[in-house]
Amino acid sequence: MKSIQFTDTKTGEEIHIAYSSYGNGQPVILIHGWPLSREMWEYQLADLVNAGHRVIKYDRRGFGKSSKPWKGYDYDSLTGDLHELMVKLDLKDAILVGFSMGGGEVVRYISKYGEERIAGIVLISSVVPFFLKTAGNTEGVDAEVFDEMIKGIQNDRMGYLDEFGKKFFGAGFLNKPVSTPLLNYYLQLGSKASQQSTIECIKSFSATDFRNDVDKISVPTLIIHGDSDKIVPFEVSSKRTAGMIPHAELVVYDGAPHGLFYTHRELLNRDLLNFISGKKHEEPRPEDMPVTSVF
């Protein structure tokens, strides 16, 4: 297992961030969502590497095979981990790709560390710009939603994540975009996190205001979201972010759930490769659309 090691400047703890690196060429850094790990990118990896890119994916602290400290799950700390990875691997002209919670690290990275190493960014099903409803953010989601998530994790983490996974991929009685074994696999990825990191990251991705961070983005930006996302609704997230970044390209996948990295993987991979090569989104043909079982 590859990893980088450094000392957390706030806690003094030694932190290990596990990562994988494949291929050569322009670096593409894949940042996973909650509550998964870098392994969620399995269905993007081959297309990106085979297209001539160096692909780096890593486990956020508290998840996968990275260190699981008790503290340090605020976005400044999480983004500091990303910066350590960028510096230690000397990554330049990079494309940052953040899914869901990972979108926060992407925009906070630019806000804190600038765009010197960054050629472009992709936000997929992202929590940006501000998830939580407050007096100054009336378009957000009620705090009770996140409180219930935390209670579910405290009471029965595996049971809660099992049900969460079905909603994550839009699975129901008649709609089965993901097989039961694959749902179980993603549940196992989530199980590798600690209860503490799982809960603390709910607090971070719900309550962190990224609106000022978004204002600092000037590199090419692609925003992708599904209009059937029941985890991070499009209207409170990517729709707003696209309006805050005038040069951003917004792509909305018809009928796509939150976990579109699997359900709409062919469309996503094509959009990623087109964006990296400077091309615009191509409207999908009927045969490109995912087919789900009704049995």
Return the bridge partners of 147, or none: none
Q: Has 32 been annotated as catalytic?
A: no
Helix (H) or strand (E) holding 30: strand 27-31
State the sign of the Cα–Cα–Cα–Cα dihedral 23, 253, 220, 33.
negative
Token readout for 113 is 């560390």
Sheet holding 14-22, edge to edge: 2-7, 14-22, 54-58, 27-31, 94-99, 118-124, 221-226, 249-253
Q: Phi first, then psi: what are they for 147, rounded to 5°?
A: -60, -40
Owner of token pair 């969502």: 33
CA separation for the pair 282, 111 (Å, rounded): 30
DSSP 189: H
Q: Has 225 been annotated as catalytic?
A: no
Catalytic residue among 8, 59, 229, 271: 229
Considering only CA atoms, give the Rg of the chain: 18
Q: Has 258 been annotated as catalytic?
A: yes
CA separation for the pair 23, 272 (Å, rounded): 16
Catalytic residue among 8, 258, 264, 271: 258
Catalytic residue among 37, 66, 100, 126: 100
3-state secondary structure of 128: coil
Give catalytic residue positions. Answer: 100, 229, 258
